[in-house]
């Protein structure tokens, strides 16, 4: 199901924070409720920890873009930098 | 023209004493009356009740203003009528702003209305209710239509004016709470001519690109007139059509706009919309830490459970093995007893002897003996070498 790649996805920026947290919640739930075999539990734990580290990195380090969408005469969208108005 | 007319009037009066009175055409009289009337009254507000309001296909509207003792013919040209949120119903008390004139072709005294205001927000209310009922009948206000908002959007679209407090507040709150979030501004006019069309276009652009995960549509606070675009049926329909979930953020305290009713989520102000849209980074950090702790606890519980299970199994195994050994020991003991009871040594102990040949085979009857043959007698406490002296068979 590609779950093994999820943590790596966050690191490379391919996986959204939302997806990472969704997967993390799944992992916590299955660890808490499904009582998996020890080997599976360890695997889930490792994946979860990697997701947490990646999510924390994204929260702390990445900076979102702020753009204004302009539409030209042909209806094509163009993104230009946007500066919010001063107070 | 005006001076000419007045001069003519003055001249006529001067000449009247001496000559026959001058005859005027109808058009001249009407034109003169109109000039006098328009010159005498500046534009003014008139209060009254609306009667017989009719909008013609041309867009021009005609009605009568009445009070207890009088009537005033009114006309509202298309451009002014376009600003009416709804046609005023019969008998509605209104204030009309306009200028007095005479419609020359009919010789009719009338008020040309530029603005018509119901007391309070009467007309807005009527227009709002009408559109709301329509949208409701089409199911566009059903609670089941409301889509959930993404909990952690990577990109937030904002359709609002690029000037003013709304966009500034939204950007600064998203930056503070969730600085990793991308923001796309879809510029719109939010009031005045073309505002509704511009909002509809922005919604369409945002939906077409679908770069954003969620869309905030709104503006800062304002009067009912200022918020008009957000009560526009076309805007409400564009929100309902949006492929992205929409948060309405029209700054106002009391009234709900059509946009609010159709949106997936209603925020009371643009700032509140920003707060609803993105998570707070501090809370997110503590949630992540919490998830880590829960995982560690669950894992530890799993390990403890595993150890306990192993211990339990070990005990069960030992117990089971112990039982088996004990059982085996008893069985073996019993067998030995029985073997001992059945064994030849027990017989010998009772005083019997056993005759064996030189190869150790038991000699059971006289037929096994031959004369002079040697054999061994096995007794309780030893052996006796013996030889067969005679054989006699008992019958």
The confidence band for B122, taking pLDDT boundaries of 50, 70 and 90, is: low
Residue B102 is predicted with a pLDDT of 94
Using the Cβ of B257 and the Cβ atoms of chain A, whether some distance falls under 8 Å is answered with no
Mean pLDDT confidence for A6-27: 71
- Beta strand A77-81 with B44-55 is unpaired
Backbone angles phi, psi at B381, to 5 degrees: -125, 15
Mean pLDDT calculated for residue range B52-81 = 92
Q: What was the pLDDT predicted at A6? A: 45
Q: Are B344 and B360 in contact (CB under 8 A)?
A: no
Average pLDDT of chain B is 86
Q: Which of residues 32-61 of A touch B (CB under 8 A)?
A: 32, 35-36, 38, 41-42, 44-45, 48-49, 52, 55-56, 58-59
Q: Is B149 on the interface with A (CB under 8 A)?
A: no
B46 — pLDDT class (breaks 50, 70, 90): very high
Q: Please state the rounded mean pLDDT for residues B373-380.
A: 87
Cβ of B302 within 8 Å of Cβ of A36? The answer is yes
Q: In this complex, do B150 and A18 lie within 8 Å of one another by their Cβ atoms?
A: yes
What pLDDT is stored for residue B65 in this prediction? 93
Judged against a pLDDT cut of 50, whether residue B174 lies above it is answered with yes
Inter-chain touch B171–A18, beta carbons under 8 Å: no
Report yes or no: B191 and B222 within 8 Å, Cβ to Cβ: yes
B209 pLDDT higher than 50: yes
- The alpha-carbon radius of gyration of chain A (Å, integer) is 19
Closest chain B C-alpha to A79 CA, distance in angstroms: 8
Residue B363: the pLDDT is: 85
Shortest CB distance from B288 goes to which of A38, A52, A67?
A52
Cross-chain residue pair A31–B294, CB shorter than 8 Å: yes
Spatial separation of the C-alpha atoms in residues B16 and B328, rounded to whole Å: 155
CA distance to partner chain A, nearest, from residue B166 (Å): 10
Q: What is the pLDDT of residue A2?
A: 41
Please indicate whether, in this complex, the C-beta atoms of A56 and B292 are within 8 angstroms of each other: no
Residue A3 confidence (pLDDT)? 43
Q: How far is A54 from chain B (nearest CA, A)?
A: 11
Measured distance CA(B266)–CA(B255) in Å, rounded: 12
ipTM of predicted complex? 0.78
Cross-chain CB nearest to A18 (options B152, B171, B302): B152
Closest by CA position to B117, among listed B142, B140, B83: B83
- Whether residue B328 has pLDDT greater than 90: no
Measured between CA atoms, the residue of chain A closest to residue B278 is A18
Check if the beta carbon of residue B244 is closer than 8 Å to that of residue B209. Answer: no
Alpha carbons B133 and B141: distance in angstroms, whole number: 10
């Amino acid at each position: 199901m590609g779950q093994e790649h999820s943590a790596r996805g966050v690191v490379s920026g391919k996986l959204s924070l939302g997806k990472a947290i969704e997967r993390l919640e799944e992992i916590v739930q299955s660890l808490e409720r499904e009582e998996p075999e020890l080997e599976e539990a360890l695997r889930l734990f490792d994946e979860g920890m990697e997701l947490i580290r990646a999510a924390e990195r994204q929260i702390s380090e990445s900076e979102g873009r702020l753009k204004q969408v302009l539409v030209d005469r042909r209806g094509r969208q163009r993104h230009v930098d946007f500066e919010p108005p001063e107070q | 023209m005006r001076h000419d007319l007045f001069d003519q009037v003055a001249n006529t009066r001067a000449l009247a004493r001496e000559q026959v009175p001058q005859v005027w055409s109808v058009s001249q009289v009407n034109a003169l009356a109109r000039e006098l009337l328009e010159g005498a009254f500046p534009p003014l507000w008139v209060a009254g009740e609306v009667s017989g309001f009719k909008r013609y296909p041309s867009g021009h509207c005609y009605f009568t203003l009445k009070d207890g003792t009088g009537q005033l013919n009114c006309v509202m040209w298309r451009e002014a009528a376009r600003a009416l949120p709804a046609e005023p119903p019969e008998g509605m008390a209104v204030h009309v702003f306009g200028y007095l004139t005479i419609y020359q072709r009919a010789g009719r005294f009338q008020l040309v209305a530029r603005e018509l205001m119901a007391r309070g927000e009467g007309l807005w209310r009527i227009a709002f209710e009408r559109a709301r009922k329509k949208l409701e009948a089409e199911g566009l206000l059903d609670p089941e239509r409301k889509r959930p908002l993404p909990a952690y959007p990577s990109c937030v679209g904002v359709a609002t004016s690029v000037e003013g407090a709304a966009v500034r507040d939204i950007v600064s709150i998203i930056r503070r709470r969730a600085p990793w979030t991308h923001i796309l501004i879809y510029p719109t006019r939010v009031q005045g001519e073309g505002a509704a069309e511009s909002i509809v276009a922005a919604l369409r652009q945002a939906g077409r690109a679908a770069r954003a995960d969620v869309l905030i549509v709104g503006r800062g606070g304002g009067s009912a007139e200022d918020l008009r675009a957000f009560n526009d049926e076309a805007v409400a329909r564009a929100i309902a059509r949006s492929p992205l979930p929409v948060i309405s953020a029209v700054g106002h305290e009391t009234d709900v706009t059509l946009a609010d009713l159709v949106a997936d989520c209603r925020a009371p102000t643009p700032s509140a919309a920003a707060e609803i849209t993105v998570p707070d980074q501090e809370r997110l950090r503590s949630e992540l830490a919490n998830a880590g702790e829960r995982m560690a606890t669950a894992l530890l519980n799993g390990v403890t459970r595993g150890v306990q299970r192993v211990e339990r199994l070990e005990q069960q195994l030992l117990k089971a093995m112990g039982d088996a050994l004990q059982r085996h020991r008893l069985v073996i003991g019993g067998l030995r007893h029985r073997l001992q009871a059945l064994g030849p040594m027990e017989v010998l102990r009772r005083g019997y002897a056993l005759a064996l040949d030189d190869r150790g085979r038991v000699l059971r009857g006289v037929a096994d003996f031959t004369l002079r043959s040697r054999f061994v007698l096995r007794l309780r406490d030893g052996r006796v070498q013996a030889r067969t002296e005679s054989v006699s068979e008992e019958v």
